[in-house]
Amino acid sequence: MKPWNVEICDVTLRDGEQTPGVSFSCEEKVDIARTLDRIGIEVIEAGFPAVSENEKKCVKTIAGLGLDSRICGFARAKKEDIATAIDCGVDMVSIFIPTSDLHVRVKFKKPRENVLEDALAMIDFARDQGVAVRFAAEDASRTDAAFLKEVYGKAADHGAVLLSFADTVGCLIPDEMRTIMTDLVSSVDRPFCAHCHNDMGCAVANTITAAQAGAFQLHTTVNGIGERSGNASLEEVLVILRTKGGIDRYDLSHLTALSRKVEKYSGIALPKNKPVTGELAFSHESGIHIAAILEDPATYEYFLPDMVGSERHFILGKHTGRKALEHVLSSLGENLSETQVCRVLDLVKEHSEQKCNITPEILRKLIRQAQREVSS
C-alpha cells in the first residue's frame, strides 16, 4: 500500500478549547502539546494569542518548548492579531476570513471582494515578518465555488503555503466533500487542509474523504471536542490512517492516555462506546464473541488494543458463555468444578438481567453462593 500523502494539524488547544465551558490551564496545554509531539503530530495549533494576555503567554511557552511539531498560532485577518501571534515565536500563522455570502453579510456588511483584498494585505504583512502563512476560508463549504477558487488562488499568489477548507457548520457529507476537494486540489497549486466539524456526525468521514481526494493537512482534536458537536477525532483519524492509509509513523500507543488526559482537563466525559478510546472499545460480553477471541482476537477486533495503549476486557452478563466465564474464573485464580461453573453462569445471567453490573466483588459473591448451593 502506498501511504497517503498527509500530515496532521491538531487543533485541540484552540478549536477544542472553544468547546462551551472548556478552558485549559497553561500547564494542561503544555502537557497535551508534549504528548501530541510524542505521537508525532506534525503541527500543533497552540491557540489564539489575541484572545488574552494569558493565552499569548501560553502560546509563547509552547512555541519555546523545542518540540519537533511545528507550532501554529491562530489569527483574524487583522494586523494586531497577526503581530501578536508572530511575537509568540510560532512557526506558522493561520489567518482566516469568512468567505460565504452569509458570513460576509453578517460579519462585515461590505462586498466580499473588499474583505478578500483586506485579507490579502494581511498575508503580505505576515510574510514580510518572515513567518509562514496558512490561509483559511471560514464557512468554505457554503461559499460560492467560483469565488472560493478566486480566494484560494489569490491567497496562493500572495504566498500562503497552505490553503484551509473549513466545513464550519458540518454541513457536508462525504460525497460532497470528495467533489469539492477534488475540484479545489486540481485548481490551485498549493496543499489543501481539511477542517471538519461534526454537526451531522460526518467529521471523521469527511476528513478521510478529503485526504483521499488530495487534501494534505488534516485537522483534528483529541476526543473530537470542539464547538457544538466538535471536530474530527484525532484518535479515529490516526487509526484509519494506520489501517487504511498505510501510514505507520505515528506512535498510537499514547492515544488512550492522551484521551483520558483531555477528558479530565476538559471536563467533557467520553461516551463509553467512543471508538478507539472509549471504555467499551475493546470490551466484550457475548459468549460467541469471547470464545472466538480466545482463539484469535482478530475475529472480533479489527485492530488490537495495545496498538492504541488500551486493554481488552471481558464483561460478564446475560450474554456470557461458559468459555468466557472459565477464562475470567481462571484469571481470578478460582478453581471450580463443572457443576459449580454452571451454577455461577446461571447466577451471572440472573443478576445481570436485573440491570446490575457484574463487578469482581459481585462475581466473588456469586462464586461463594454457587459453592454453597452445590455443596449443600
Q: pLDDT tens digits, residue range 147-183? A: 999 999 999 999 999 999 999 999 999 999 999 999 9
**In terms of domains, do 65 and 206 share one?**
yes
Confidence bin at 362 (pLDDT 50/70/90): confident
Identify whether residues 202 and 343 lie together within a single domain.
Answer: no
Residues 46, 58: contact at Cβ < 8 Å? yes
Instruction: Verify that 293 and 333 share a domain, yes or no.
Output: yes
Residues 6+ apart with CB under 8 A from 25: 265
Sign of CA dihedral 109, 114, 116, 121: negative
| 8 A C-beta contact, residue 348 and residue 336 | no
Q: What percent of the chain stands above pLDDT 70?
A: 99
Claim to verify: residue 181 and residue 330 sit in the same structural domain: no
**Are 131 and 172 found together in one domain?**
yes
| 303-349 pLDDT per residue, tens | 999 999 999 988 888 888 888 888 888 887 888 888 888 888 888 88
357 and 236, same domain (yes or no): no
264 contacts 279 by C-beta, under 8 angstroms: no
Asked if the structure places residue 82 within a domain, the reply is yes
Do 159 and 292 lie in one domain? The reply is no
* End-of-domain residue from the set 235, 266, 297: 266
Pair type for strands 313-314 and 283-284: parallel
CB 93, CB 101: distance < 8 Å: no
Q: Are residues 40 and 89 in the same domain?
A: yes
Same domain, 150 and 289: no
| Domain final residue pick, 232, 266, 300 | 266
- The number of domains in the chain is 2
Assess whether 26 and 159 both reside in one domain.
Answer: yes
Which domain CATH number covers 150? Answer: 3.20.20.70
pLDDT score for 87: 98
Query: Containing H/E element for 368?
Result: helix 360-375
> What is the pLDDT at residue 189?
95
Whether residue 277 is contained in a domain is answered as no
What does the alpha-carbon distance between residue 303 and residue 240 come to, in Å, rounded to a whole number?
10
Residue 235 located in a structural domain: yes
On whether residue 54 sits in a domain, the answer given is: yes
Within a domain: 345? yes
Q: Per the domain annotation, does 278 fall within a domain?
A: no
CA distances in angstroms from 199 to 23, 165, 223, 309, listed in the order given:
21, 16, 15, 29
Range of the domain at 54: 7-266
